[in-house]
Amino acid sequence: MSDNKYDVIVIGSGPGGYVAAIRAAQLGLKTACVEKWVSDDGKKVVNGGTCLNVGCIPSKALLDSSHKYHDAHADFEKHGISTGKLKLDVPKMLERKDKVVAQMSGGIGGLFKANKVASITGKGKLLAGKKVEVTTASGDVTVYEADNVILASGSVPINIPVAPVDPADNNIIVDSTGALEFSEVPKTLGIIGAGVIGLELGSVWSRVGSEVVCLEAMDSFLSIMDQQIAKESEKIFRKQGLDIRLSCRVTGTKIKGKKVDVIYLDKEGNEQTQTFDKLIVCVGRRPYTEGLLAEDSGVEMDERGSVFVDENCATNVPGVWAVGDIVRGPMLAHKASEEGVIVAERIAGQKAMMNYDVIPNVIYTYPEVASVGQTEEQLKSAGEEYKVGTFPFLAVGRAVAADSQDGMVKLISHAKTDRILGCHIVGPSASDLVQQIAIAMEFGSTAEDIGMTVFGHPTFSEAVKEAALAVNGHAIHMPNRKRKK
């Protein structure tokens, strides 16, 4: 095989692309991964995509730092710990975050070497006949050939004309990437969009002292989540000081010196103006396909600008596949990675399939909000018969001991078969707890199965067992409730 010919070429090294490349190489396929992102000095390729560099990992690094600060500031005293006057060094907090990112992103180069994935730096474009043209930053062009091409070019933030993100304006109006780089704590922080990013980054900066206002267009909070859990979460976040304003329509912004005026129509339709030190625009992301496909590549797009794929991530062109944020489905790192694995295995002749019904979804606030499976609203509108069990963390010993009593677990099972249909949690370690139910759902478990499983004591996960018992009316520690015989 010539040097420029591969079994598999992957375009994009985010969690969709780099995982696909590693899995393909593990299966004995000669594999290359093309990435256009380079370090500021232009010398090194930056692998890992949005997730590792400006998404999941840096946001969680800041989340943990801000949580520690908040604990020391607001909670240590209760435990008999005094610290004296606290000081936050924001540049140092950012430096730690950057180190975490460098470690994770750099690690992918090591994984590529270990698995013999060729790393190609430059912008990849799919040409007709499964050829991939790669253009480097200095303009050199090389054309490679492959039996299979996997498109994994990810997504970028959606911009809205009423609040343009322009670094020339001193980074006052920023997207999620800019919001990971504030060099000091903004005294006042506006957020357009109370979705996942708005809540995660809003709570980071709120915990270290910003007054945060979230302007959300919808009239219900977290409208796609289970509404009982969304309402409980909203209550908790408001109590923490997030000022969440629903049914707001931003109509304009004006940069004034080092601040920004945000003009919006409130719930009643009255025009309001509020001034902020910084404004984060986080109203969703869109697939990134600029320059990815030559006109004659033959790959079809869908009406939302995503690359059109079937249930196995195959495009309409045989041998061309697409995974992650550029295709339909939730824009989540683990969904992208799983699709990458499935595609690599299919290319190798296996019959791998993805179960889109069981994809956990987590909002990394404190406490976390996590879900898997169907919401009560979805089941109602589908006319499904179901049973619900809920259990509050305030009745869980470990949660009380940890002073993490806010929130609840909600488990939903089929009314007749008792098979678990969904689980929705707001509370401590919700991300890990919901994974237990994801596994149970993969095995077709019932609520009774979970109720009959021995859970360690004292653990947060006892709330999951109790919620499962509650589905059939038998929760042991249920406060203020009658139990079924």
Stretch that binds ligand FAD, among 65-73, 93-101, 148-156, 379-387 (CB under 6 A): 148-156
15 binds, among ligand FAD, ligand NAD, none (CB under 5 to 8 A by kind): ligand FAD
Stretch that binds ligand FAD, among 52-60, 265-273, 303-311, 405-413 (CB under 6 A): 52-60
Residues 11, 34 contacting (CB under 8 angstroms): yes
50 binds, among ligand FAD, ligand NAD, none (CB under 5 to 8 A by kind): ligand FAD
Q: How far is the CB of 36 from ligand FAD (least distance, A)?
A: 4
Residue in 67, 79, 414, 457 annotated catalytic: 457
User: Contact between 344 and ligand FAD (CB under 6 A)?
Assistant: no
User: Contact between 49 and ligand FAD (CB under 6 A)?
Assistant: yes
- Rounded to whole angstroms, how far apart are CA atoms 484 and 389? 13
> Taking CB under 6 A as the rule, which mask of x and - marks residues 215-254 in contact with ligand FAD?
----------------------------------------
Counting residues that bind ligand FAD (by CB under 6 A) gives 36
User: Contact between 11 and ligand FAD (CB under 6 A)?
Assistant: yes
Q: Read off the tokens for 434.
A: 């919901």
**Bond into 186 cis (ω within 30):** no
154 binds, among ligand FAD, ligand NAD, none (CB under 5 to 8 A by kind): ligand FAD
Q: Read off the tokens for 309.
A: 């794929």
Residues 53, 37 contacting (CB under 8 angstroms): yes
16 binds, among ligand NAD, ligand FAD, none (CB under 5 to 8 A by kind): ligand FAD
- Rounded to whole angstroms, how far apart are CA atoms 451 and 441? 14
Q: Which of 56, 61, 101, 192 binds ligand FAD (CB under 6 A)?
A: 56
- Rounded to whole angstroms, how far apart are CA atoms 105 and 138? 23
- The binding site for ligand NAD (CB under 6 A) comprises 160, 192-198, 200, 215-218, 250, 282-285, 330-332, 362-364
Q: How far is the CB of 13 from ligand FAD (least distance, A)?
A: 5
Q: Which of 65, 66, 176, 306 binds ligand FAD (CB under 6 A)?
A: 176
User: Contact between 288 and ligand FAD (CB under 6 A)?
Assistant: yes
Burial class (CB in 10 A: 0-12, 13-18, 19+), 24: buried
Nearer to ligand NAD, 32 or 250 (CB): 250
User: Contact between 124 and ligand FAD (CB under 6 A)?
Assistant: yes
> Which CB contacts under 8 angstroms, 24+ apart, belong to 264-272?
264/215, 267/219
402 binds, among ligand FAD, ligand NAD, none (CB under 5 to 8 A by kind): none
Residues 384-413 that bind ligand FAD (CB under 6 A): none
Cα radius of gyration rounded to whole Å, the chain: 24
Q: What share of the chain is helix, strand, coil (3-state, %, to 5)?
A: 35, 25, 40
Helix or strand holding residue 439 (H, E)? helix 430-442
The answer to whether 70 is a known catalytic residue is no
- Rounded to whole angstroms, how far apart are CA atoms 21 and 348? 12
CA dihedral in degrees (227, 228, 229, 230; nearest 10)? 40
User: Contact between 202 and ligand FAD (CB under 6 A)?
Assistant: no
Count Cβ atoms below 10 Å from residue 236 Cβ, excluding itself: 18
Residues carrying an active site annotation = 457
